Structure 1
Amino acid sequence: MTDLELKKSLLSCPGDTIQEHIDTIGMSQAELAERLGRSVPKLNELIKGKAPISKETATKLGYVLGIPASFWLNLERIYQDELLEIEQLEHLESCKEWVSGFPLSAMKTLGIIPDTRDKAEIAKSLLAFFRVASPAQWSSIYEGKSVAFKIELRYTTEPQAISVWLRLGELQAAQLQVADFDKKALRDQLSTFKEIAFSHSEDWLDQLQSRCASCGLALVYTPSIAKAPIYGASRWIRSNSLPLIQISDRQKDYNAFWFTFFHELAHILYHGKKDVFIEGLASIQPDPVKEKEADSFAARMLLSEKARGALALQDEFTAEWVQAFSQTFRQHPGIIVGQIQRMHPQLYKNYQLNRLKPKVAFKQVTL
């Protein structure tokens, strides 16, 4: 017997206690109805649990049956609590099929849902995680046209996994202390962002996040999730008052990280608040003009035209040459190697060059 079946079998409405008591004292329902000043049909609804015991009814029962009103009101409260618990369990039972579509293993690892096989318990955690009342509301928000989420995932192959990754970013953003958005201040930080990329100190991720927050931009690092092939995303949340850039460690590549960051930053600086940009999903067709603008901005931030021209003229690349080039143009060797390998794909397997590329892996998400 399941927990739901057990609770249903043990459920007893206050009317059962009323019936037991009048049976004990030898009073019929008709007589009780007369003494209470109610019709027999109305009393029968009370006995069967179809009508609640009000304060007025509890007071009258106290006079007629000699049992305090507080007893009947407490009995009604307990019954309603048990009834609510059963209704909640029934609702969660109806959500079991919906649960199956989510990347449950990854979500357990991230601590989003409890480490259990009980799908009703998992459904409860998922509803709370997405802040929705039922699977229907989740579908409305993430697969339909919604005021809460401005891009439809219905055409993606894994909308559940993608929605989990995006929702994680919103929860991470809620943990940040972010100033009011200041576009000018954000633009003024561009040279600082490039310096952080060049220096690559131990706390570079924290430095970058802090600088963004001081300008009113929420920057979060969300570990990659299976079946959500996303590099990064940018959008405005909290009724378009807070810009959010969310980056994954999908490639674990330093050059890819910084290109994604500057690409998403361009969307925030130059494109509308109503747009949502998700990079890496072939099923979502982006605005080609805006994507080209973002790509161009990111390319300029990574390497100046002069540096890019110098790379184009070079035909032999060694680790020593890259290190010297790095100092000349004040850009991290890992980013330079990434740019070289994009221009010369045969160098992706060059061991000496690859040693200059730092790996990017994010910490465990704490919600």
Structure 2
Amino acid sequence: MSESAKNRYSPDEVSPPGETLRDILRERGLTQAELATRTGRPKKTISEIVNGKAAITVDTALQFELALGVPAAFWNAREQQYREHLARRAQEEEMARRVSWLSKFPVAEMVKRGLFRREATKPERVRELLAFLGVSSPEQWSELFALQNVAFRKSTAFDVDEGSLAVWLRQGLIEAKRVPSQPYDRGTFRAALREARSLSREEPESFQEKLVATCAEAGVIVLFVPEFKGCRASGATRWIAPDRALIQLSLRYRTDDHLWFTFFHEAAHILLHGKKLIFIEGQRHEGGREAEANRWAANALIPRSEFERLSKMRPYTKTRIRAFARECGVSPGIVVGRLQHEGLLPHSHCNDLKRRFKWAGDV
């Protein structure tokens, strides 16, 4: 829960300002009719204000100030507080009618990750979810999500949970706003990608911080955000400002060949495919921009000329793979993954050369 939400005063009941007006009139020994005469307001209007049926306008507050000696600011504040209370109560009733909407999202996972409070009623949870997504109603969320230019590599074998995907994307956007970066520079980003190839040979404790720092210098924020169940996204790319891009990685497949290929695939979208679409990498799907990004990533990790040399190194022993990886400047796992993808090495062979990752806290 945000700090502002924690500190917000929201009493269960707020009396209408008319009750305060009634008390003041009683103390002063004035009738409603006399107040109407003093202010020039109709008796009916004064009666409706006293009984909470009419609001105290700014003009009326100024008249009360002159007639009763009570500052207009007091009446304006009381009126605003009361109207906000009524609106908030109506909103809470609306939240209670929307609790079924929660089932579209990975709420339990969000609680476990500390994104939501553990103790909350379902209507309160609806409010938390709306605030997290940055919208005022489920309808606005549906409209916003539909308007986003999402290019997702879908698979006929698996369904994508749109709620989980939306939450994963939103968490990345929220975290990205806290990451400082320089304005995007294409040349600096290309230099960062050259350094990233060599980082693939390092352990996560070393390469993660360096990768994030070098890309931030180029105006590209790199985030590692665990996927939510059903999200089925290994990576995503989008421009979050005209001069800032975001690459979001989920470590879905947990091996270095998948991680680095996904990262370079996302980098290709930044370099080649403009700023309007959100590219989300999930299951296998070739064609158009995705195929172009695949080719670019493959050649960026292992240049075509080097791969041609590799393809002639049969049989593919672990010793030869390690030696080639060292000469090429990438991790052995990347070489194994490329050979497997090209059908030159069975998917059951040499997988122990791949480095496996896990999130901090995983058992």
TM-score, scaled to structure 2 = 0.81
- Note if 1:361 corresponds to 2:358: yes
Note the alpha carbon deviations across 1:5-58, whole angstroms, 9 max, x for none: xx77x5532323544676799876445534543212212221232333342243
In the alignment, the residues of structure 2 paired with residue 18 and residue 308 of structure 1 have an alpha-carbon distance, to the nearest angstrom, of 85
Residue 289 of structure 2: aligned partner: 290
Note the alpha carbon deviations across 1:277-333, whole angstroms, 9 max, x for none: 111168xx88x2222211111111222334423443345444333323322332211
Residue 266 of structure 1: aligned partner: 268
Which has the higher mean CA deviation after the structures are superposed, 198-207 or 76-85?
76-85
Instruction: State the Cα distance separating 1:157 from its structure 2 match.
Output: 4.7
- Note the residue ranges of structure 2 that are not aligned, 5 or more in a row: 1-10
- Choose from 161, 164, 179 the match for 2:164: 161
- Note if 1:329 corresponds to 2:328: yes
- Note if 1:219 corresponds to 2:222: yes
Residue 93 of structure 2: aligned partner: 90
Note the alpha carbon deviations across 1:221-243, whole angstroms, 9 max, x for none: 111111110111111122x3312
- Note if 1:130 corresponds to 2:129: no
- Note if 1:140 corresponds to 2:139: no
Check conservation: 1:323, 1:333, Cα contact below 8 A: yes
Residue 259 of structure 2: aligned partner: 257
Check conservation: 1:116, 1:122, Cα contact below 8 A: no
- The one-letter amino acid of 2:180's match is Q
Residue 176 of structure 1: aligned partner: 179
Instruction: State the SS of the aligned residue for 2:223.
Output: strand
In the alignment, the residues of structure 1 paired with residue 33 and residue 105 of structure 2 have an alpha-carbon distance, to the nearest angstrom, of 56
Change (3 A) 1:170 1:17: closer
Instruction: State the SS of the aligned residue for 2:163.
Output: helix
* Aligned pairs (5 A) from 1:56-95: 56-59=62-65, 62=68, 75-76=78-79, 78-95=81-98
CA-based RMSD of the aligned residues comes to 3.2
Which has the higher mean CA deviation after the structures are superposed, 241-250 or 316-325?
316-325
Change (3 A) 1:30 1:281: farther
Which has the higher mean CA deviation after the structures are superposed, 307-316 or 270-279?
307-316
- Note if 1:309 corresponds to 2:312: no
- Choose from 234, 238, 245 the match for 2:237: 234
Note the alpha carbon deviations across 1:328-362, whole angstroms, 9 max, x for none: 33221121222233345984344xx3332212234
Change (3 A) 1:25 1:235: closer
Instruction: State the SS of the aligned residue for 1:234.
Output: strand
In the alignment, the residues of structure 1 paired with residue 64 and residue 26 of structure 2 have an alpha-carbon distance, to the nearest angstrom, of 19
Change (3 A) 1:61 1:158: farther
In the alignment, the residues of structure 2 paired with residue 290 and residue 75 of structure 1 have an alpha-carbon distance, to the nearest angstrom, of 58
In the alignment, the residues of structure 2 paired with residue 185 and residue 251 of structure 1 have an alpha-carbon distance, to the nearest angstrom, of 29
Note the alpha carbon deviations across 1:198-223, whole angstroms, 9 max, x for none: 34463201111111111111111111
In the alignment, the residues of structure 1 paired with residue 38 and residue 184 of structure 2 have an alpha-carbon distance, to the nearest angstrom, of 69
Instruction: State the Cα distance separating 1:74 from its structure 2 match.
Output: 6.2
Check conservation: 1:223, 1:363, Cα contact below 8 A: no
Check conservation: 1:263, 1:297, Cα contact below 8 A: yes
Check conservation: 2:150, 2:280, Cα contact below 8 A: no
- The one-letter amino acid of 2:275's match is K
Instruction: State the SS of the aligned residue for 2:52.
Output: coil
In the alignment, the residues of structure 1 paired with residue 309 and residue 102 of structure 2 have an alpha-carbon distance, to the nearest angstrom, of 54
- Note if 1:203 corresponds to 2:200: no
Instruction: State the SS of the aligned residue for 2:150.
Output: coil
- The one-letter amino acid of 1:326's match is A
Which has the higher mean CA deviation after the structures are superposed, 162-171 or 301-310?
301-310
- The one-letter amino acid of 1:313's match is K
Residue 3 of structure 1: aligned partner: none
In the alignment, the residues of structure 1 paired with residue 219 and residue 236 of structure 2 have an alpha-carbon distance, to the nearest angstrom, of 17
- The one-letter amino acid of 1:118's match is T
Instruction: State the SS of the aligned residue for 1:114.
Output: coil
Instruction: State the SS of the aligned residue for 1:180.
Output: coil
Calculate percent identity across the aligned residue pairs.
31
Instruction: State the SS of the aligned residue for 2:15.
Output: coil
- Choose from 61, 79, 93 the match for 1:55: 61
- Note the residue ranges of structure 1 that are not aligned, 5 or more in a row: 1-6
